[in-house]
């Protein structure tokens, strides 16, 4: 073999060696792709399960959020209503204490007077009574109309019975003590005599 032939053979061998790694690399890449595809196919059911679990957890959290939001909205409404009621009925305790005073004024003013001095005294008491009544009415207090009305256990307290054939049954015939409302709340029911 000549030198030239030897060199040609070496060059061919080198080219084959260089070509073999490329073929080996291509074979390795193809094998890796196949193994990745197999792994992906194996992992797909597991990934679907994880995805479903996450979706369920998300839905549960969302439902809890909706319930908490609704509870908070209800709380705000209740608190607002309680504040409004507190403001609306804030004078109830004061008015309750003033009602016996009004009753005593009315009883004192029902007495008959003969002398002029006594009439002046009664006139002064009348003025005080009207001022007190005006102040209580400004606070939202109003008298419960009872006489001649049908008996209502929410507004009236029956303490006596009457038997008047001229009046309808279950009708208030006499008011023994006036009842009062504060706005729309009964602060004292009227004590009444009711026809049988």
H/E element holding 182? Answer: strand 180-182
> Where is pLDDT greater, at 114 or 147?
147
Q: How long is the chain?
A: 196
CA dihedral angle for residue 162, residue 166, residue 171, residue 175, rounded to 10 degrees? -60
Q: Which CATH number fits domain 89-195: 3.90.180.10, 2.170.150.20, 2.30.22.10, 3.40.50.720?
A: 2.30.22.10
Instruction: Using the predicted structure, report yes or no on whether residue 15 has a pLDDT greater than 70.
Output: no
Helical ranges in 89-191 per DSSP H: 92-109, 116-138
Q: Tell me if 103 sits within 8 A of 143, measured CB to CB.
A: no
Compute the Cα dihedral for 59, 64, 66, 67 and give only its sign.
positive
Average pLDDT over residues 64-93: 88
Compute the Cα dihedral for 8, 10, 13, 15 and give only its sign.
negative
pTM above 0.75, yes or no: no
Domains of the chain, residue spans: 89-195
Banded pLDDT at 154 (limits 50, 70, 90): very high
Q: Tell me if 144 sits within 8 A of 190, measured CB to CB.
A: yes
pLDDT of residue 34: 61
Residues 47 and 176: their CA atoms lie apart, in Å, by 83
């Amino acid at each position: 073999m000549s030198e030239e032939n030897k060199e040609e053979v070496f060059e061919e061998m080198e080219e084959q060696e260089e070509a073999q790694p490329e073929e080996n690399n291509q074979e390795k890449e193809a094998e890796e792709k196949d193994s990745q595809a197999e792994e992906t196919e194996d992992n797909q059911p597991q990934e679907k399960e994880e995805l479903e679990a996450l979706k369920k957890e998300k839905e549960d959290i969302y439902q809890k959020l909706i319930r908490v939001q609704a509870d908070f909205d209800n709380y705000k409404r209740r608190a607002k209503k309680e504040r409004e009621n507190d403001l609306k009925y804030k004078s109830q305790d004061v008015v309750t204490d003033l009602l016996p005073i009004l009753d005593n004024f009315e009883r004192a003013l029902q007495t008959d007077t003969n002398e002029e001095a006594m009439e002046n005294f009664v006139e002064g008491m009348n003025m005080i009574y009207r001022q007190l009544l005006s102040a209580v009415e400004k606070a939202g207090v109003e008298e419960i109309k009872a006489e001649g009305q049908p008996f209502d256990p929410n507004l009236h307290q029956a303490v006596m019975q009457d038997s008047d054939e001229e009046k309808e049954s279950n009708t208030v015939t006499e008011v023994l003590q006036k009842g009062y409302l504060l706005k729309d709340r009964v602060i004292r029911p009227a004590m009444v005599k009711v026809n049988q």
